[in-house]
Every structure is written in C-alpha cells, then in structure tokens.
C-alpha cells in the first residue's frame, strides 16, 4: 500500500487547479499521468527578465521587463492588421503589438489608465520601441488585479527569472509553468530518508526544498548538475533504484536454493568433443558459475562478453552441471532466429554428451509443441532452448535447475523473475553481448555478481574498419565483387530509416534489387517481416554458401553466427548507435580469415556521428566502446532504453552523477544489512522513497510489505 502521504502526488493531472482534460493530455504525453511526474520535469534553462530599464533605455533585441501605463488601445482597422496598445512611462512610448485578437480580452488584460508590467523582447520599429506578443503581462505592484491576470498571492505578477522547460507541441510554456507551480503547491514535505550524517556532510537541503529550488532557479547557474539541490534529487532517484534492486536480490537469496555440483561426466564429454580449448577467461567464468551453483542459495550472475567471446559454450557447460545433478536447464534467446541457431550449435555437443535437447518457440504449434511440453513435464528432456515462449503458463518443467538468459538486455526484470519462478530453486545466469558500462550494469542489475569474458578466442584477426561516403557506392560494390571472387561471404545491412518497418523494408528490398543486378542469384534478403521458415531458409542458404551476399535489416543484429562471413557493409552507419554498430561488426571476424567492415555514411556528418564512426575505426574493444557511447549519448539512449529494459532516470545523470550512484549502492547495502524489512523510522521513510519513484514492486518483497 502506498503511504498516504504520497496520495496527493499520485492523482491525475486534472486534479490540479487550472489543468483541464486537454492540457492534462498534453502534459501526460510529456511527463506522465500523475502529478509526481510533473515534479520530475526539471527546467532546461532560464529566461532572465531581470533587466528592467525605462522605455527610452531599452535597447532593441533584448528581453526586458518594463513597468508602464496603458495609454490607448488601437484595434485593427482592417483584417489581418495588428491590434496595438500604446503604453508610456516618463521616458517614452512603447507599443505592444498583437495579431489575431479575438473579443475584448486585451481591454481586460491591459485596462486603460492602469499600470502594468510587461516582459518580452523589445524591438525598435521606425524608432518606436515595440514588443510583439509580450511573453508576460501582469498588473504592476500596488495595482488591483484585473480579470485577465490576477496578481499571484505573495509573488510578483511577472517572474523575473523564468525557468524554461522542454515542451511538447500544443503546450504553451505559460501553461506548463503554471501546472508545475500548482504541482509544487500540493507537494508536502516528506519524512527524511537520507542518512542524517551523510546529508549534513553533503550540505543537501530537504527534499521539498530541493525540488522547489530546482523549479525556481535564481539564474542559469542554479541549474548546474553539481549543485546540492540537484545532487540530492539525483541521489534520491538512484537510492530508490539501488534499494529496490537490493531488495529483489535479498528476496532471491532468501528463497532456498539447491547445491548443484555435478560429477563432471557430461561436461568432460563435451569438452572432449570441442575442436578448441577453452580460453582462460571462459575457464575463470565457469569456476565462478560453478561456485555459485554449489552454494545452497540461488545463483543470480551476469556473464558479460563481447560478441564472439564464446559465451554459448560457457552456458552449455553450466547447464550440463545442472543436468549431471538430475535437473533440467533452459536457455532463452531474444529471437526465434537466435534460438534456432543455439539449437543448431548445441545439438552436436548435446549428442556427444548423450543429453536430450528440445526447442520451444512461438512458432512451434500443434502436435510437435504438445509433444515437447509433455516430454518436458515428464523430465524426458534435459535441455530446452527457446524464446519468450518459455514464459508461458502451460510450460511446465519436471525440475528446472538453471535458466540461462541470452542477450539479457532485451528482457525486463519482471520477465527474468517470472522465469526463475518456473523452477523450485532455479539458478539464473544472464548473458549479455552488449558490453554495458559498469554504471549501467549497476543501475540495471544492482549489486549482481558479474563474470566477464575479457578475452577473445585465439586466432581472431582484427577487423579492418573503414568509413566511406555513400556517394562512393559504386566503389563499394566493386570492392565487394573483389571479395566475393576471393570467396568471401558478405552481410549488407540497411538501416531503420524510420520507426516504420514498411519503409525500413523498402530500403532493404531496393538494395537487394540493385545488388542482384550485379551479382544475380548470389544475393539473398532477410528482414523482420519475413515468415520464420523463410528467414531460416535465407540464413542457412547464407551459412551454406548458396547465397553469398545477405541483404538484411537489423534482424541480424544480435548473435547470428556465420563464421565464413568476412565482410560487413552497413549503410547509413551514421543512423546507428555505437553499440549497435559494434554488434553488427561483431558478425564478422568470427573465423580464421581476415575481415572487413565498411561503414557507409551520408554526409554531412554531425559531431556526434563523426566521433562515433571514429571510435569504431579506432577500436574493437566493446567495453571501451560502451563507455564512449555512454559519454556521447547519455545513458537513456545507449541501448535504446525502451527495448533495453534498463531503468530510466529523470533527475540523475549517469555520467555526471556516477559518484552518487556508487554512494547509493553502498547506502543500499548498509540499509539491507541493518534494517532489511525497512521497519525503523528511516526504513519507513525509505518505503516512501520507493513508492515516490514507483519502485513498488520491490516493496512487495518485504515480508511486512
Ligand atoms: P558469443 O559470446 O557472441 O555468444 P559464441 O558463443 O557464439 O560467442 O562464440 C563465437 C564463436 O567462437 C563460435 O563459433 C564458437 O564455437 C567459437 N569459440 C568459442 N569459444 C572458443 C574458444 N575457446 N576457442 C576457439 N573458438 C571458440
Ligand atoms: Mg551469443
């Protein structure tokens, strides 16, 4: 149950004074449905209206705030002409100019003979100072309010330093500002959840005061990310994030696990069948995984490794450890294509070990599916590879001991927990091929154990990466022709042109047609809208070599493994993110042949796009690339937050506030040690914090939640 004290913040925007359904809809689009969301919408700058000259001293081109007397109204004599209001002070005349004036509202807003304050950009038109559509108009101090703009209680009618907020179409700055002030007005002081000593040491204000000052900056500098008020709010948000993750972890640890330590016979059989030796990074990771599995609490470990670092074999060996103990294990991939590919690469090894391997995806229907489900429930399958389909309710395991989730960032926390709920004491290993910077790992997984495959299997040659302007397409096609004669297999990736798959597809189809003119039947096409079996057919034709050029939309992005492919062409590379380009490039360089990656761009390039392409040219180190990506784009965009399952932050900036994230992690650890049920007074306040940032799910894990 949400603490009562927060109720006033978790109500629809329409409950705010002056916010009707229409405005509420616009604000909701911008910030979210509740008042609390509005509080997190911080200003991006300020307009300084503190310059208050006399009329004669107001230079053109500058924002000024003037106190003047309304001298005369001149409604337009002809349609489309402006409505002018003549104002004066002791130094001169100022004209206020309005277009499209309806009714008599200006007469009410600017009553004849009254003193008013107007603010806006002054322009000089034939020597007469003018303000066209002043940003602000209000009664001067001491004047009685009028129908147009009653003086705000206790405030001057015109804010001299006016915060500027990110907007959305149709929403005026004035309306948004008014709504935010209304939201602040219904915001109560909340119990302090910060550790008092830490708060004192940081010189941080109380929560409401911090919010209030962020929304009422004294000047541009007051918005800096490193000021106490902003840091406090950032810390609050990160603490909520870290505490929620810590609670989920605690819960996970409390659930009984099982000691899983097999005798090694299946693993030995598989290792004997491998055409290579494990790298020391793989062996180290396996030692860590086996050690976790051997304890009687549940494993929750992240295996990070760049594309091609050899995570799959690590997963298989961990799964076999479970099978050796009589349990089942499941491997979940984010796409059908990858699930099938895992199946293909695991099948011969599973056979070598004599374990029974099955597949379950959304595409499996009817009798085959029923048979798989039955075998699974009866314990006649040891290993199951699949997609999201594994989450479905009718999927029942006989005794699931380990779940491996591949390409983890595509799945959210909830899905993760859902799957581990399928077994009685299931260990979980999550694998990600996108090297996530340390910071993001922490926000997404909290204090989760991490194993890293920092070393690639031996014998890989560096990938020669070149950036080429799209104008030189012909040269690229010639180069591809040369490579084909040498026996290369080529990926040709067309980008997401817009958020529409249809248009996306059109680009790929068109490119496929063009390349077919040059290379005939050697060119294949694979895209997201193809039916599953057609996709598979195209992929295997490419793997077998009946197709030598595979034109693809980004469906090949994740994990596809064709070791004979040695050329990767990416069109409009400037439209892809760094991490994505790195992933794409990782599709080549998997075999023993030298590989090439051609990044085709359309100029002129912006600064960020140029830096991105340069970084790719300079390094293949996925972790370094990920750090750069974070720096260049900001965390939210690194993986495309929506599909990434990573949390979004409104107040915290993961680059600027990294130190706070570490502090929040340490604080969360301490809290969990000392007050795991959040029962002390500070614990109660921390519950408020969790609800405030909508981490309710975590509160449910408290025994007395
Ligand atoms: P990823 O980490 O991207 O999932 P994979 O598991 O698909 O990488 O491995 C990429 C390729 O490297 C596969 O063809 C795999 O057989 C091979 N591989 C894995 N480990 C080794 C190793 N220790 N030595 C040589 N090749 C390896
Ligand atoms: Mg993989």
The ligand 1 atom at the shortest distance from the C-alpha of residue 453 is 2
**CA separation for the pair 31, 215 (Å, rounded):** 15
| pLDDT for position 500 | 54
Distance of CA 421 to the CA centre of its chain: 26
DSSP state of 629: H
Determine the atom of ligand 1 nearest the C-alpha atom of 279.
Answer: 23
Name, in order, each residue with C-beta under 8 angstroms of 600's C-beta and a sequence gap of 6 or more: 467, 468, 469, 470, 473, 476, 569, 570, 571, 572, 573
Q: Is the CB of 311 under 6 A from ligand 1?
A: yes
Cβ-in-10-Å burial (0-12, 13-18, 19+) of 607 comes to exposed
Q: How far apart are CA 224 and CA 457, in angstroms?
A: 46
Atom 16 (ligand 1) nearest CA = 310
Which ligand neighbours the alpha carbon of 565 most closely? 1
Measured in whole angstroms, how far is the alpha carbon of residue 453 from the centre of its chain? 24
pLDDT of residue 411: 54
Coil, strand or helix at 185: helix
What SS3 class is residue 673?
helix
Backbone phi and psi for residue 585, each to the nearest 5 degrees, phi listed first: -60, -35
Contact by Cβ (8 Å): 132, 21: no
CA 599 – ligand 2 centroid, Å: 23
Of 551, 626, 664, nearest in space to 202 by CA: 664
| pLDDT at site 641 | 39
Atom of ligand 1 nearest to the CA of 282: 23
Whether residue 435 has its Cβ less than 6 Å from ligand 1: no
What's the CA-to-centroid distance between 549 and ligand 1, angstroms?
Answer: 23
The candidate with the shortest Cα–Cα distance to 72, out of 87, 83, 60, is 87
Six-digit token pair at 443? 């926000």
Ligand having the closest approach to the CA of 406? 2
Largest Cα separation within the chain, whole Å, is 99
Q: Write down the pLDDT at residue 123.
A: 94
Q: Is the CB of 563 under 6 A from ligand 1?
A: yes
Query: What is the predicted pLDDT for the residue at 686?
Result: 97
Q: Whose CA is nearest to atom 22 of ligand 1?
A: 457
Ligand 2 mean position, distance from CA 81 (Å): 67
CB of residue 167 inside a 6 A radius of ligand 1: no
Strands across the sheet with 357-360, in order?
A: 357-360, 383-386, 328-332, 400-405, 427-432, 300-305, 449-453
Residues near 209 by beta carbon (within 8 Å), at least 6 away in sequence: 229
Pocket probe for ligand 1: among 271, 305, 312, 557, the residue whose CB has the most ligand atoms within 8 Å is 312
pTM over 0.75: no
- The predicted-structure confidence for 148-199, as pLDDT tens digits, reads as follows 444 443 335 678 888 999 998 889 888 999 999 999 999 999 999 999 999 9
3-state secondary structure 13-72: HHHCCCCCHHHHHHHHHHCCCEHHHHHCCCCCEEEECCCCCCHHHCCCCEEEEEEEEEEE
What is the model's pLDDT at position 297?
Answer: 83
User: Does 583 contact ligand 1 (Cβ within 6 A)?
Assistant: no
**Could you tell me which of 275, 274, 256 has the C-alpha nearest to residue 316?**
274
Compute the distance from residue 227 Cα to the ligand 1 centre, in Å: 47
Does residue 273 line the site of ligand 1, with CB under 6 A?
Answer: no
Q: Separation of 579 CA from ligand 1 center, angstroms? A: 20
Out of 310, 430, 459, mutate this one to test ligand 1's pocket (max ligand atoms within 8 Å of CB): namely 310
- Cβ proximity of 368 and 279 under 8 Å: no
Surface-to-core class of residue 79, CB atoms within 10 Å of its CB (0-12 exposed, 13-18 middle, 19+ buried): exposed
Binding site membership of 307 for ligand 1 (Cβ less than 6 Å): yes
The count of other CB atoms within 10 Å of the CB of residue 451 is 23
Q: Which residues does the chain have with pLDDT short of 50?
A: 145-155, 498, 558, 635-645, 704-705
- Other Cβ atoms less than 10 A from the Cβ of 276: the count is 11
Task: Residue 530: name the closest of 508, 563, 497 by CA.
Answer: 508
Which of 308, 344, 454 is the pocket-test mutation for ligand 1 (most atoms within 8 Å of CB)? 308
589 lines ligand 1 (CB under 6 A): no
Say which residues have a Cβ less than 8 Å from residue 129's Cβ, sequence separation at least 6.
55, 58, 60, 92, 93, 94, 95, 122, 123
Pocket flag, ligand 1, residue 309 (CB < 6 Å): yes
**Other C-beta atoms lying within 10 Å of the C-beta of residue 108:** 12
Q: How much distance in Å is there from the Cα of 50 to the middle of ligand 2?
A: 59
Is 457 a pocket residue for ligand 1 (Cβ < 6 Å)?
yes
Residue 556: what pLDDT? 64
541, 601 contact by CB (below 8 A): no
């Amino acid at each position: 149950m949400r603490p009562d004290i927060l109720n006033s913040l978790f109500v629809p925007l329409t409950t705010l004074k002056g916010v009707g359904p229409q405005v509420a809809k616009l604000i909701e689009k911008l910030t979210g449905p509740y008042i609390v969301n509005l509080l997190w919408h911080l200003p991006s700058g300020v307009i300084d209206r503190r310059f208050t000259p006399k009329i004669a001293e107001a230079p053109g081109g500058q924002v000024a705030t003037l106190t003047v007397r309304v001298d005369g109204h001149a409604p337009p004599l002809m349609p489309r002409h402006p409505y002018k209001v003549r104002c004066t002070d002791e130094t001169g005349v100022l004209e206020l100019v309005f277009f499209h004036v309806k009714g008599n509202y200006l007469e009410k807003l600017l009553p004849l003979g009254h003193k008013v304050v107007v603010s806006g950009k002054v322009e000089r038109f034939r020597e007469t100072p003018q303000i066209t559509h002043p940003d602000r108009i209000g009664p001067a101090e001491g004047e009685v309010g009028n129908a147009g703009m009653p003086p705000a209680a206790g405030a001057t009618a015109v804010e001299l330093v006016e915060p500027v907020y990110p907007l959305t179409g149709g929403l005026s700055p004035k309306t948004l500002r008014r709504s935010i002030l209304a939201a602040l007005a219904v915001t109560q002081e909340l119990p302090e959840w910060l550790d008092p000593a830490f708060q004192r040491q940081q010189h941080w204000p109380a929560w409401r005061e911090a919010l209030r000052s962020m929304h009422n900056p004294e000047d541009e500098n007051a918005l800096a990310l490193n000021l106490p008020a902003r840091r406090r709010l950032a810390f609050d948000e990160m603490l909520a994030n870290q505490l929620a993750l810590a609670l989920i972890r605690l819960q996970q640890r409390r659930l009984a696990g099982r000691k899983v330590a097999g005798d090694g016979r299946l693993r030995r059989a598989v290792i004997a069948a491998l055409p290579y030796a494990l790298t020391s990074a793989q062996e180290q990771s396996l030692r860590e995984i086996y050690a976790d599995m051997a304890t009687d609490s549940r494993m929750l470990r992240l295996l990070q490794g760049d594309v091609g670092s050899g995570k799959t074999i690590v997963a298989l060996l961990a799964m076999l450890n479970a099978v050796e103990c009589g349990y089942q294990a499941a491997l979940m991939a984010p796409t059908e294509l990858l699930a099938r590919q895992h199946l293909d690469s695991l099948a011969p090894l599973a056979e070598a070990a004599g374990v029974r391997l099955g597949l379950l995806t959304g595409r499996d229907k009817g009798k085959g599916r029923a048979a798989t489900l039955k075998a699974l429930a009866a314990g006649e399958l040891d290993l199951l590879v699949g997609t999201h389909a594994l989450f479905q309710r009718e999927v029942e395991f006989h005794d699931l001991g380990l779940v491996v989730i591949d390409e983890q960032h595509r799945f959210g926390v909830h899905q993760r927990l859902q799957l581990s709920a399928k077994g009685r004491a299931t260990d979980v290993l999550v694998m990600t091929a996108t090297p996530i910077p340390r910071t993001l790992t922490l926000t997404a997984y909290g204090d989760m154990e991490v194993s890293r495959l920092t070393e690639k299997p031996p014998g890989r040659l560096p990938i020669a990466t070149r950036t080429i302007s799209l104008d030189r397409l012909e040269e690229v096609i010639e180069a591809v022709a040369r490579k084909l004669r040498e026996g290369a297999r080529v990926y040709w990736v067309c980008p997401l042109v817009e958020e529409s798959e249809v248009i996306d597809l059109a680009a790929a189809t068109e490119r496929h047609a063009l390349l077919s003119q040059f290379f005939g039947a050697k060119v294949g096409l694979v895209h997201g809208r193809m039916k599953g079996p057609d996709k598979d057919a195209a992929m295997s034709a490419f793997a077998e070599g009946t197709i030598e050029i595979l034109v693809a939309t980004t469906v090949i992005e994740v994990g596809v493994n064709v070791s004979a492919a040695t050329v990767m062409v990416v069109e409009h590379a400037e439209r892809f993110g760094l991490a994505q380009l790195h992933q794409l490039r990782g599709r080549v360089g998997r075999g023993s042949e030298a590989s090439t990656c051609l990044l085709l761009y359309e100029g002129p390039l912006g600064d960020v796009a140029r830096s991105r392409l340069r970084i790719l040219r300079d390094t293949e180190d996925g972790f370094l690339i990920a750090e750069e990506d974070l720096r260049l784009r900001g965390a939210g965009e690194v993986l495309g937050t929506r599909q990434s399952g990573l949390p979004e932050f409104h107040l915290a900036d993961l680059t600027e506030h990294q130190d706070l994230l570490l502090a929040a992690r340490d604080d969360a650890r301490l809290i969990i040690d000392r007050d795991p049920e959040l029962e002390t007074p500070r614990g109660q306040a921390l519950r408020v914090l969790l609800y405030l940032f909508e981490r309710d799910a975590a509160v449910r894990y408290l025994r007395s939640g």
